[in-house]
Amino acid sequence: MKQKTVDILPNFSGTKPDCLCFKTGGPNTPGRPEPVFNDTSEHGPSALRQFHERLFLGERFPSRMILQSGHGVDVALAFLLFKRPELVFASQMSSLVNGVDLTVRLGAAGMAHLSPDLRDLIMSVHNIVSQSGNTSKGMLEGLETGSMLFEEHLRIHTAPKSCVSVEDECGPLVWVASGHDLDLAAVYSNGYLGGMWASPTYALVFKKSGLVQEIDLEALTLSLSSGTPELQRAFDKLDAQTTLISNRPLSKGELQTTWEALKGLL
């Protein structure tokens, strides 16, 4: 895994290949090769909210982040998410992103709707990063200190994860045990990005979003239909991220074959 680096380039504007550009003024163009995040408008999705959503939906980002400035409580939280992407699954991260987003976009009008302890936390981080000076070294130190306060808040307010009965797992994939209802919210809250599940009458595969490049459901169905025709599978795309792979009960061996094919996509 490449070491992650953050560079503050005050005079930089636009985009740079193989870099995550956060609030650098580059165009927010969907599908462009460089991930670019900029505030849109007072009432539009902020750079922080865009980054947070694409991160928890499973997008993978480059190992270098470029900032124009380290002055901003939203920059401090984006800095933490970039350095520690696994924290996107922390139970209070979405609430923290929402609080910072409201504060940065709406000021006191937004902060008025946050809990007192969250307001105090955001103001503490704001004071740290806004007083970190104008050198890149000073601003990076401010971001490190501010992000540590955010991380400590997430640690203190950690809630138990939802229980998921697992038959097997491999990286971001999970084979959810049969005999239990499929609770995708619980599955995804545990950090999985996709997997498979079988009921007594059918089986399906799923992934969190189209941004999960590791799981190509079309490639999987092609592999299963051409490689194991004896299973007589019935494929039906239920929605963009869920595919029915059998409309009949599958044996343990058939489920194992499906699981191996799914893991083979990684």
Section 113-132 average pLDDT: 95
Percent of the chain scoring above 70 in pLDDT: 88
Q: pLDDT at residue 266 above 60?
A: yes
**2-6, long-range: CB within 8 Å, 24+ apart, which pairs?**
2/63, 3/63, 4/63, 4/64, 4/65, 4/82, 4/83, 5/63, 5/64, 5/65, 6/64, 6/65, 6/66, 6/67, 6/79, 6/82, 6/83, 6/140, 6/143
Q: pLDDT at residue 137 above 60?
A: yes
Sheet holding 64-67, edge to edge: 5-8, 64-67, 20-22, 36-37
Task: List pLDDT tens digits, range 59-98.
Answer: 989 999 999 999 999 999 999 999 999 999 999 999 999 9
Section 35-58 average pLDDT: 86
Q: pLDDT at residue 240 above 70?
A: no
| Residue 230, pLDDT score | 46
Contact predicate 172/191, CB 8 Å: yes
Section 110-116 average pLDDT: 93
Structure tokens at 226: 């051409």
| Residue 29, pLDDT score | 56
Tell me what the pLDDT averaged over the chain comes to.
86
Give me the domains of the chain, ranges plus CATH numbers: 5-156 (no CATH), 166-263 (3.10.310)
Distance CA(121)–CA(116), nearest Å, equals 9
Query: pTM of the prediction?
Result: 0.83
Task: Show Cβ contacts of residue 45 under 8 Å, excluding neighbours closer than 6 positions.
Answer: 53
Angle at 250 between CA 248 and CA 252, to 5 degrees: 170
Task: List pLDDT tens digits, range 48-60.
Answer: 999 999 999 999 8
Give the CA distances from residue 112 to residues 98, 105, 152, in Å, rounded to whole numbers and listed in that order. 13, 13, 23
Least confident of 112-116, 126-130, 245-249: 245-249
**Alpha helix stretches (DSSP H) within 112-197:** 116-130, 136-156, 184-189
| Residue 201, pLDDT score | 82
Task: List pLDDT tens digits, range 185-227.
Answer: 999 999 999 999 988 888 888 889 888 877 777 777 766 665 5
